[in-house]
Amino acid sequence: MKCPECGAENNDNSERCNVCNAILPASKSQNHQEYREIKFKSKYFATILSAVIGFFFIFDGVGQLYLGFYKRFGVECGISIVLNLISYYVVFFISMTIGMILYILPLIWLIYTTYDTYKCADALTTGRSIPLLFGRDIQ
Ligand SMILES: [Zn+2]
């Protein structure tokens, strides 16, 4: 089966392209329909997961876990933890004011990772390839 995104030849029973990782149309159209429906349901849930857990805890990108992008979650959550710890450290040990200003960094990262979760979920839903993170294909 030819990939509709990049044109690479793939196994007929593959779910995803082995070159660009785009979702391949299923051989039975009904299966494909079911698959898309499941993913569509999870789209907003994934985004809300990333937003809410990222806001109340320091773990950003939890929605990526839900979507099955474990490596991407690792990167997004890791950066969030580092940014949060830096601003906590500055608040407690250096300067409250500078720490509060620095706290804008983990906030921006939270907004970005929430948006990124939405973009990934949307790509899954529509069968497009997953957007790059820092120019890399991290899933
Ligand atoms: Zn492809």
9 bridge partner residues = 2
80 located within any domain: yes
71 located within any domain: yes
How many angstroms does the Cα of residue 139 sit away from the middle of ligand 1? 15
pTM of the model: 0.70
How many angstroms does the Cα of residue 62 sit away from the middle of ligand 1? 27
9 located within any domain: no
91 located within any domain: yes
How many angstroms does the Cα of residue 11 sit away from the middle of ligand 1? 12
Task: Report whether 40 contacts 125 (CB < 8 A).
Answer: yes
For the chain, the distance separating the N- and C-terminal CA atoms, rounded to the nearest angstrom, is 23
Confidence of residue 30 (pLDDT cuts 50, 70, 90): very low
86 located within any domain: yes
Q: pLDDT tens, 81-129?
A: 999 999 999 999 999 999 999 999 999 999 999 999 999 998 888 888 8
CA distance 115 to 120: 9
Backbone angles phi, psi at 134, to 5 degrees: 55, 40
pLDDT at site 24: 83
How many angstroms does the Cα of residue 7 sit away from the middle of ligand 1? 6
How many angstroms does the Cα of residue 25 sit away from the middle of ligand 1? 11
Total structural domains within the chain: 1
Mean per-residue pLDDT over the chain, rounded:
87
For the beta carbon of residue 135, count every other beta carbon within 10 angstroms: 6
Gyration radius of the chain's alpha carbons: 18
Distances (CA, A) of 110 to 51, 67, 75, 87: 7, 17, 13, 14
22 located within any domain: no
Q: Which amino acid, 17?
A: C
b/e map of 45-66 (b: 16 or more CB within 10 Å)? ebbbbbbebbeeebbbbbbbbb
79 located within any domain: yes
Q: pLDDT tens, 62-78?
A: 999 999 899 999 999 99
Domain ranges, residue 83:
35-126
10 located within any domain: no
How many angstroms does the Cα of residue 102 sit away from the middle of ligand 1? 41
